[in-house]
Amino acid sequence: MSLLELLQGTENHILPERYNHLSDREMEQRITALKAAFGERLFIPGHHYQKDEVIQFADASGDSLQLAQISAANKKAEYIVFCGVHFMAETADILTEDYQKVILPDMRAGCSMADMANITQTERGWTVMQEAFGDTILPLTYVNSTAAIKSFVGKHGGATVTSSNAKKMLEWAFTQKERILFLPDQHLGRNTAYDLGIPLDEMAVWNPIAEKFEFDGDDFDKVKVILWKGHCSVHENFTVTNIEEVRNTKPETNIIVHPECSREVVAKSDYAGSTNYIIKTLEAAEPGTSWAVGTEMNLVNRLTKIHSDKDVFSLNSMMCPCLTMNRIDLAHLLWSLESIEEGRMSNQIIVDPEDSKWAVLALNRMLERA
Ligand code: 13P
Ligand code: SF4
């Protein structure tokens, strides 16, 4: 690709200036009209971490597992405008048919965790792991990873997982091989393996930057889980100090966190589980109860509003929303829909066919068991 093409391509990904002068009301009216005009040709999935201004237009909202299932089941929509982050749109592209086009309203809506494992690092690390443990390792990847990593995992007999089914998928993985490589979130991997009864000294961390294992147990041969050294920059901001503050100031409060939080935070909380688990637990909670929630802020704010009969607040009072999720807003959603209407496809997500071929195996191994 020439430099000019590259620059033009980048320009195509930037919101045109005219959208900055529209009021929210104008944008909402236009989106409503466009949605009505497209009818079933258009489908808008929205992750629970999206802003309310976007979620109001979602045809379905859900966690990563639900959105993957919903995308795979939809055979009608010609255009899937994915309100979430890049890896979710890639997953939708992999799971949908060739005549369906997946669009991400803002190409900058990435995921810092997914960026912590690239395919070169993974292949290099895998070689060292094979030298250390032989052919005893099955790779699993959190869906929060690039299509290339999902493809690597699919090629090596492994599967994807989400926070809703990680336990089930780890159990399955141990029926296939003696050891697991878990990418790219060390915390979800560690918390899930620990729940399955694997002691911490049977887990090693793979540092992809230093290209070496981090292990402080006694017997390296006993390692059952290799955790990729990645994390979520949002969920890592919940700390044991936050928990102690809540315990000291509001001892009646229940503390519930997402398993992307560190082991120490999960261990000191009352409940831990996926986004969907957190939503369901709060739905089932008695009026008048108090809940400190350790997950993304757009969702916590929504839960606070929905459950006005309960005291629901963020475990970390200084918490911000996930900045990349937040890149999708009314203006970008409207721009996507108008681009489709004008016959210009901005921000289409197209996964490399070779990656897609292998990644779909990893995704289907999960969806069959989810
Ligand atoms: P889930 O939707 O699987 O709970 O994942 C949370 C998340 O961080 C999505 O990016
Ligand atoms: Fe990625 Fe964390 Fe944001 Fe989810 S919340 S998209 S894992 S950075």
What confidence tens digit (pLDDT) does each residue in 168-215 have?
Answer: 999 999 999 999 999 999 999 999 999 999 999 999 999 999 999 999
Biggest alpha carbon–alpha carbon distance for the chain: 65
String of DSSP letters for 82-126: -BS-HHHHHHHHHHS-TT-EEE-S-TT---TTGGG--HHHHHHHH
d(CA 90, CA 15): 21
CA of 296 to the centre of ligand 2 (A): 8
Total residues found in the chain within this entry: 370
Q: Would you tell me how many other CB atoms lie within 10 Å of the CB of residue 1?
A: 7
Closest CA to 282 of 262, 318, 254: 254
Give strand ranges (E) for 28-98: 42-43, 45-47, 60-62, 79-81
Ligand 2 centroid to Cα of residue 232, in Å, is 6
Torsion of CA 297, 303, 305, 310, to 10 degrees: -120
pTM score, whole prediction: 0.94
**Residue to mutate (ligand 1; options 104, 235, 258; most atoms within 8 A of CB):** 258
Three-state SS annotation for 233-265: CCHHHCCHHHHHHHHHHCCCCEEEECCCCCHHH
Instruction: Provide DSSP, 144-161.
Output: SS-HHHHHHHHHTT-EEE
Q: 360, 95 in Cβ contact below 8 A?
A: yes
SS3 49: coil
Return the structure tokens found at 343: 């016959």
Find the 182 Cα to ligand 1 centroid distance in Å: 16
Could you tell me the end-to-end alpha-carbon distance of the chain, in angstroms, rounded to an integer? 41
Residue range 337-353: mean pLDDT, rounded: 94
Q: 162-189 burial string, b = 16+ CB within 10 Å, else e?
A: bbbbbbebbebbbeebebbbbbbbbbbb
Q: Which two tokens stand for residue 346?
A: 């901005």
Q: How far is the CA of 202 from the centre of ligand 1 (A)?
A: 26
User: Which ranges of 285-352 would DSSP assign to H, the alpha helix?
Assistant: 297-306, 330-341
In the prediction, which pLDDT does 3 show? 42
Q: What is the pLDDT of residue 12?
A: 66
Structure-block tokens of residue 310: 């309960």
Q: Which atom of ligand 2 is nearest to the CA of 296?
A: 5
* Own/partner long-range contacts of 231-234 (Cβ < 8 Å, ≥24 apart): 231/113, 231/116, 231/185, 231/186, 231/187, 231/260, 232/112, 232/113, 232/144, 232/185, 232/187, 232/260, 233/112, 233/113, 234/260, 234/296, 234/319, 234/320, 234/321, 234/322
The tens digit of pLDDT for each residue in 120-166 reads: 999 999 999 999 999 999 999 999 999 999 999 999 999 999 999 99
Any atom of ligand 2 within 6 Å of the Cβ of 234: yes
pLDDT at 268: 98
Q: How many CB atoms lie within 10 A of CB 262?
A: 20
Query: Residue 222 pLDDT > 60, yes or no?
Result: yes
Ligand nearest to the CA of 185: 2
Give the pocket of ligand 1 (CB within 6 Å).
Answer: 63-65, 111, 144, 162-164, 232, 260, 274-275
Ligand 1 centroid distance, CA of 289 (Å): 25
- Measuring from atom 1 of ligand 2, which residue has the nearest CA? 111
Give the residue among 236, 288, 241, 229 at the shortest CA–CA distance from 257: 236
**pLDDT digit string (tens) for 279-329?**
999 999 999 999 999 999 999 999 999 999 999 999 999 998 999 999 999
Atom of ligand 2 lying closest to residue 84 CA: 6
Q: What is the C-alpha to C-alpha distance for residues 190 and 177, in angstroms, rounded to an integer?
A: 18
User: What pLDDT score does 141 carry?
Assistant: 98
Percent of the chain with pLDDT over 90: 94
For helices 186-195 and 166-176, angle between their N-to-C axes, nearest 10 degrees: 80
Mean pLDDT of the chain: 95
**68 close to 143: Cβ distance less than 8 angstroms:** yes
Q: Give the number of C-alpha atoms closer than 13 A to the C-alpha of residue 268, restricted to the C-beta side.
A: 17
- The ligand 1 atom at the shortest distance from the C-alpha of residue 64 is 2
Asked if residue 368 has pLDDT above 60, the reply is yes
Whole-number Å distance between alpha carbons of 167 and 276: 15
Q: Is the pLDDT of residue 345 over 90?
A: no
232 lines ligand 2 (CB under 6 A): yes
- Residue whose Cα lies nearest atom 6 of ligand 2: it is 111
Q: 325, 326, 328: which to mutate for ligand 2, most atoms within 8 A of CB? A: 325
